[in-house]
């Protein structure tokens, strides 16, 4: 690839118009894992339908020539939310006293990895939010720790651990300021 | 209230008598209950007291200044310029005056008598709604019609005198209608609305004393929490249904309780528990006497096909695709012909189970058997088919099957 890709970033706060695009790009990003129950497209679809109806739903899709190549989505979480309750140790009050953005998913198609696309999607999503902090969970073993290292390079710090569901590995909870 | 010259006690007595007319047992309210309403410590009285209060006053509870809990979507909010606190204090005071006056005056007109024929008429209209649900499912129209019918049953309670048996049947019918509204909302993924229907249905079911309707509501609640991804709550709600005495009397209810438990345990990734629950559900179904008397809703939907459908759901969630496929085939062969919606859902799940085993051609052929009508009009089916398309494109890239599927889905858009 000799020229920078012409990426079109689009932000949505409702699911209806882009549910199909989100499923398509998710399935491509997670193709090697789709046989695992927690990663099946149906399981993602169910989560997406729930999160799409929850507070602060925001999603950014990256398009190239009209085809989705990357995505991210988030919700708003508040003090007492299951997200914070499952985080151990209990997060400092400065993080939970006001609503925060929880980045639920972010992913880019294999051909578009290492092009800065994920970072551009991430920043476009946060640009629309007024909350002071953004938090995410990462599997510390993913990509031999490269994913965790990438988020550190974006300014995230570890604040605890969480196991969001019985089928899920223990994840590292990370946080950073939005601005 | 003192400015009217009546005590809170006289209103409490009038409401207690109205509760007795409604339920056959006098209410246990006293002056402090009335003061709690007036002071706003109780903003939404329990449903029996509320209905009795509406009876005594002739006004809906909202007009009396009470504020329903979590019903904001189904009850129009009172106009902004009116202060509910103010209304509650003055109107409850006013009712006390009216009630005291009514107690002093001789009865003027005798109300009409309500009988089982009225109950049966409502139940017949309900059966028509259920039939429509089996054809289409999850639609707002079904939910609203069922909820309206529940309100109609309650209005009938208040329209005249009736025996205890008729009263209980009316509450049971109202609870059944409400729980169908709840089911339609769950199917349509409108969970907040479903929860409001659930609370109303639970209160009505308690007043009816009917075990089978209590079972239905708690069993639905378990399914709702499963869809919401809250498996601990789902198991707890389903356990309430399973612990009702009815499940020891009738193995068919025990079977449904166990099958729904299996579906929940599948979602919770408890492999051994899932398998055990479905085995026990199958045993219980074989023990059930087909000749036993059962409510219409139970006869209408729970059978071998529904047990296999729940097993399909549970094993699909576990990622045990061959077992899921086995139950899908069994379900399809046993499914009664009028269960159009169930057939579409089962076909779609079978397609997923086949694709996950790597058989893209068979999976696509199965998915193409889903009718265009179900694929475009039933939200749950169309979402699952959207997921199927995404999984197919990601896992079978380069195969001609993808093109077949794209062309097939294009015909829906033209038909829609």
What DSSP character marks residue A18?
G
Q: Which residue of B has its CA nearest to A43?
A: B317
Please answer yes or no on whether A166 and B391 come within 8 Å at the CB atom: no
Question: Phi and psi of A173, rounded to 5°?
Answer: -95, 130
**pLDDT at residue B355 is higher than 90:** yes
Interchain CB contact of B322 with A (< 8 Å)? no
Query: Per-residue confidence at B139, pLDDT binned at 50, 70, 90?
Result: low
Question: What is the biggest distance separating any 2 CA atoms in chain B, rounded to whole angstroms?
Answer: 86
Mutation target vs A (from B271, B320, B390; most A CBs, 10 A cutoff): B390
How far apart CA B365 and CA A39 sit, in angstroms, is: 24
CB B313 within 8 A of CB B263: yes
Please answer yes or no on whether B391 and A34 come within 8 Å at the CB atom: yes
Global pTM value: 0.75
Query: Is residue A102 within a helix (H) or strand (E), and if so which, with residue range?
Result: strand A100-108
Q: Which residue of A has its CA nearest to B269?
A: A167
Instruction: For residue A168, give how far its alpha carbon lies from the nearest alpha carbon of chain B (Å).
Output: 10
Q: Among A84-98, B100-114, B213-227, name the one with the lowest average pLDDT.
A: B100-114
pLDDT, tens digit, 9 for 90 and up, residues A144-155: 999 999 999 999
Mean pLDDT of chain B: 83
**pLDDT at residue A131 is higher than 50:** yes
Mean pLDDT over residues B98-108, rounded? 45
Mutation target vs B (from A24, A42, A167, A169; most B CBs, 10 A cutoff): A42
Query: Per-residue confidence at B187, pLDDT binned at 50, 70, 90?
Result: confident
* Partner residue facing B228 (CB), from A23, A35, A50: A50
Instruction: For residue A34, give how far its alpha carbon lies from the nearest alpha carbon of chain B (Å).
Output: 8
Exposed / middle / buried, residue B266 (Cβ in 10 Å: 0-12, 13-18, 19+): buried
pLDDT, tens digit, 9 for 90 and up, residues A37-54: 889 999 999 999 999 989
**pLDDT at residue B16 is higher than 90:** no
Instruction: For residue B332, give how far its alpha carbon lies from the nearest alpha carbon of chain A (Å).
Output: 21
What is the DSSP annotation of B241-269? HHTSTHHHH-HHHHHHHHHHHHHHHHHTT
Closest CA to A134 of A57, A76, A90, A94: A76
**pLDDT at residue B93 is higher than 60:** no
Cis-peptide, bond into residue B323, ω within 30° of zero: no
Query: Is residue A151 within a helix (H) or strand (E), and if so which, with residue range?
Result: helix A146-153
Please answer yes or no on whether A41 and B269 come within 8 Å at the CB atom: no
Instruction: For residue A41, give how far its alpha carbon lies from the nearest alpha carbon of chain B (Å).
Output: 6
> What integer pLDDT is reported at residue B60 of this predicted model?
63
Mean pLDDT of chain A: 93
> What integer pLDDT is reported at residue B65 of this predicted model?
65
The encoded tokens of residue B413 equal: 């858009």
Closest CA to B145 of B129, B127, B162, B132: B129
Instruction: For residue A26, give how far its alpha carbon lies from the nearest alpha carbon of chain B (Å).
Output: 8
**pLDDT at residue A174 is higher than 70:** yes
How far apart CA B231 and CA B263 sit, in angstroms, is: 10
Q: How far apart are the first and last CA of chain A?
A: 32
Cα B321–Cα B325–Cα B327 angle in degrees, nearest 5: 120
Query: Per-residue confidence at A164, pLDDT binned at 50, 70, 90?
Result: confident
**pLDDT at residue B370 is higher than 50:** yes
**pLDDT at residue B176 is higher than 50:** yes
Instruction: For residue B313, give how far its alpha carbon lies from the nearest alpha carbon of chain A (Å).
Output: 11
Chain B residues within an 8 Å CB radius of A31? 394-395
Beta-carbon-side half-sphere exposure of residue B314 (alpha carbons within 13 Å)? 30
CB B147 within 8 A of CB B197: yes
Please answer yes or no on whether B352 and A42 come within 8 Å at the CB atom: yes
Closest CA to B6 of B105, B93, B106: B93
Interchain CB contact of B383 with A (< 8 Å)? yes
Interchain CB contact of B224 with A (< 8 Å)? no
How far apart CA B38 and CA A81 sit, in angstroms, is: 34
How far apart CA A133 and CA A60 sit, in angstroms, is: 18
Q: Which residue of B has its CA nearest to A15?
A: B383
How far apart CA A62 and CA A68 sit, in angstroms, is: 6
Higher pLDDT, B84 or A75: A75
Interchain CB contact of B390 with A (< 8 Å)? yes
Instruction: For residue A31, give how far its alpha carbon lies from the nearest alpha carbon of chain B (Å).
Output: 6
The helix-helix angle for B31-39 and B84-104 (nearest 10°) equals: 150
How far apart CA A105 and CA A22 sit, in angstroms, is: 11
**pLDDT at residue A125 is higher than 90:** yes
How far apart CA B214 and CA B196 sit, in angstroms, is: 16
| H-helix segments, chain A | 19-29, 41-52, 82-85, 93-96, 117-127, 146-153
**pLDDT at residue B88 is higher than 60:** no
> What integer pLDDT is reported at residue B58 of this predicted model?
57
Reduced to 3 states (helix: H, G, I; strand: E, B; else coil), residue A48 is helix
CB B99 within 8 A of CB B11: yes
Residue B21 contacts by C-beta under 8 Å, 6 or more apart in sequence?
B52, B55, B161
> What integer pLDDT is reported at residue A90 of this predicted model?
95
The encoded tokens of residue B290 equal: 């087909």
Interchain CB contact of B376 with A (< 8 Å)? no
Chain A residues within an 8 Å CB radius of B195? none
Interchain CB contact of B268 with A (< 8 Å)? yes
Please answer yes or no on whether A53 and B189 come within 8 Å at the CB atom: yes
Q: Which residue of B has its CA nearest to A25?
A: B390
What is the DSSP annotation of B290-336? TTS---HHHHHH-SHHHHHHHHHHHHHHHT-HHHHHHHHHHHHHH--
The encoded tokens of residue B69 equal: 């809990």
């Amino acid at each position: 690839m000799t020229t920078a890709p012409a990426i079109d970033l689009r932000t949505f706060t409702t699911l209806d118009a882009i549910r199909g695009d989100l499923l398509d790009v998710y399935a491509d990003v997670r193709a090697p894992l789709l046989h695992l129950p927690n990663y099946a497209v149906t399981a993602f679809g169910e989560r997406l339908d729930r999160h799409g109806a929850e507070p602060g739903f925001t999603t950014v899709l990256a398009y190239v020539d009209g085809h989705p190549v990357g995505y991210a989505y988030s919700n708003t979480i508040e003090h007492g939310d299951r997200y914070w309750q499952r985080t151990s140790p209990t997060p400092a009050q400065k993080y939970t006293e006001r609503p925060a953005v929880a980045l639920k998913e972010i992913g880019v198609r294999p051909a578009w990895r290492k092009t800065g696309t994920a970072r551009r999607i991430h920043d476009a999503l946060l640009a629309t939010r007024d909350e002071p902090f953004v938090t995410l969970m990462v599997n510390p073993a993913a990509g031999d720790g490269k994913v965790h290292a990438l988020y550190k390079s974006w300014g995230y710090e570890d604040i605890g651990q969480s196991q969001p569901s019985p089928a899920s590995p223990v994840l590292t909870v990370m946080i950073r300021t939005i601005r | 209230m003192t400015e009217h010259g009546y005590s809170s006690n006289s209103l409490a007595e009038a409401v207690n008598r109205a509760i007795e007319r409604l339920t056959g047992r006098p209410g246990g309210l006293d002056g402090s209950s009335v003061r709690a309403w007036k002071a706003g410590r109780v903003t939404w009285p329990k449903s029996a007291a509320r209905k009795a209060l509406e009876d005594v006053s002739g006004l809906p509870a909202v007009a009396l200044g009470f504020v329903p809990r979590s019903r904001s979507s189904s009850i129009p909010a009172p106009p902004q310029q009116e202060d509910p606190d103010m209304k509650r204090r003055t109107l409850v005071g006013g009712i006390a005056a009216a009630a005291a006056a009514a107690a002093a005056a001789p009865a003027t007109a005798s109300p009409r008598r309500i009988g089982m024929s009225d109950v049966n008429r409502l139940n017949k209209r309900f059966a028509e709604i259920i039939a429509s649900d089996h054809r289409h499912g999850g639609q707002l129209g079904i939910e609203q019609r069922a909820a309206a019918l529940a309100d109609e049953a309650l209005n009938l309670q208040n329209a005249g005198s009736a025996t205890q048996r008729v009263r209980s049947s009316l509450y049971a019918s109202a609870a059944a209608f409400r729980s169908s509204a709840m089911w339609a909302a769950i199917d349509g993924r409108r969970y907040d609305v479903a929860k409001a229907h659930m609370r109303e249905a639970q209160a009505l079911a308690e007043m009816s004393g009917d075990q089978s309707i209590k079972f239905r509501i708690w069993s639905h609640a378990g399914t709702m929490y499963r869809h919401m991804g809250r498996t601990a709550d789902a198991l707890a709600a389903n356990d309430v249904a399973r612990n009702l005495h009815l499940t020891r009397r009738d193995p068919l209810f025990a079977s449904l309780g166990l099958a729904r438990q299996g579906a929940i345990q599948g979602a919770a990734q408890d492999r051994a528990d899932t398998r055990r629950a479905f085995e026990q559900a199958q045993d219980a179904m074989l023990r059930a006497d087909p000749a036993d008397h059962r409510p219409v809703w139970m006869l209408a939907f729970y059978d071998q096909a529904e047990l296999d459908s729940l097993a399909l759901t549970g094993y699909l969630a576990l990622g045990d695709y061959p077992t899921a496929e086995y139950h899908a085939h069994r379900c399809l062969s046993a499914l009664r012909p009028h269960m159009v919606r169930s057939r579409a859902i089962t076909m779609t799940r079978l397609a997923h189970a086949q694709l996950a085993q790597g058989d893209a051609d068979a999976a696509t052929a199965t998915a193409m058997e889903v009718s265009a009508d179900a694929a475009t009009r039933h939200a749950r089916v169309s979402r699952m088919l959207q997921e199927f398309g995404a999984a197919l494109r990601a896992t079978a890239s380069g195969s001609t099957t993808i093109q077949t599927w794209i062309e097939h889905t294009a015909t829906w858009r033209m038909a829609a």
